């Protein structure tokens, strides 16, 4: 959460975070950020249906007061060296984000800087691509997961920008043990298990399924990770 707030404070005028009445100090961290506004999430557990309803409707509250809306998860960092310049020159109503899985051997970092200055290694994942930056005046509809498969989702009555895009850095693979604990926690908290199949034991034992424990272990042992900031986004790794 500190990394999320530090990063988005550099490019956003307001950060709204919905929290499920957490008791681990998260709420206090949010409240200490001048640009952050804390709101209570109205349900318990990982409820994909409720989340999809929120992401497809709540952005409209920014109409008339914001030029752009970004809707990343807390473990997602939308990165560009000149983000405001990119948005100012965008030739559409939606901006694409190219997905990367950030992978490290150790525990999550705990420094005072930006997370991408401390952890730069990962791999390109085309199924992590998202269109999660858009002008609030358009009508947009995402599907479950909000990841981009082809061009059919999200549905939008605006134009897709063709100018340089953002990198979408997914920071949740901090070694094998952390991934195992995280996947189990997410599976246990999922309200609808059919949306959480990728956190199940069967998934975790499959080294060819990205996000699994076996996949993270294989990526680290094979040396397939690289500095994503020196990477050509046209190259896709599976």
Residue 211 pLDDT: 92
What stretch of H or E contains 169? strand 166-174
The pTM assigned to this predicted structure is 0.92
Judging by DSSP bridges, how do beta strands 166-174 and 140-141 pair with one another? unpaired
- Between CA 206 and CA 193 the distance in angstroms is 18
As a whole number, the mean pLDDT across the chain is 91
Instruction: Express each pLDDT in 147-179 by its tens digit.
Output: 766 667 899 999 999 877 899 999 999 999 999
Residue 237 pLDDT: 34
Question: pLDDT tier at 16 (50, 70, 90 boundaries)?
Answer: very high
SS3 content of the chain, % helix, strand, coil (to 5): 30, 25, 45
> 157 is written with which tokens?
């009555």
Instruction: Express each pLDDT in 76-86 by its tens digit.
Output: 999 999 999 99
Kindly tell me if the per-residue pLDDT of 100 is higher than 60: yes
Burial class of residue 229 in the structure, from the number of CB atoms within 10 Å of its CB (0-12 exposed, 13-18 middle, 19+ buried): middle
């Amino acid at each position: 959460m500190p990394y999320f707030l530090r990063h988005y404070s550099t490019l956003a005028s307001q950060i709204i975070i919905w929290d499920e009445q957490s008791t681990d100090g998260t709420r206090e961290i949010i409240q200490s950020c001048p640009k952050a506004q804390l709101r209570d999430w109205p349900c318990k557990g990982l409820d994909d249906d409720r989340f999809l309803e929120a992401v497809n409707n709540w952005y409209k509250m920014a109409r008339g007061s914001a030029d752009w809306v970004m809707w990343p998860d807390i473990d997602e960092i939308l990165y560009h060296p000149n983000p405001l310049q990119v948005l100012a020159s965008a030739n559409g109503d939606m901006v694409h984000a190219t997905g990367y899985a950030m992978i490290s051997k150790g525990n999550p970092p705990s420094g005072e800087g930006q997370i991408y200055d401390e952890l730069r290694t990962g791999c390109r994942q085309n199924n992590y691509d998202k269109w999660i930056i858009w002008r609030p005046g358009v009508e947009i509809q995402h599907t479950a997961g909000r990841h981009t498969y082809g061009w059919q989702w999200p549905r939008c009555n605006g134009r897709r920008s063709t100018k340089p895009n953002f990198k979408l850095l997914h920071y949740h693979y901090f070694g094998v043990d952390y991934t195992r604990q995280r996947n189990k926690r997410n599976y246990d908290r999922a309200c609808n298990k059919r949306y959480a199949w990728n956190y199940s034991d069967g998934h975790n034992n499959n080294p060819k399924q990205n996000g699994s424990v076996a996949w993270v272990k294989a990526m680290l042992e094979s040396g397939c990770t690289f500095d994503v900031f020196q990477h050509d986004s046209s190259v896709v790794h599976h």
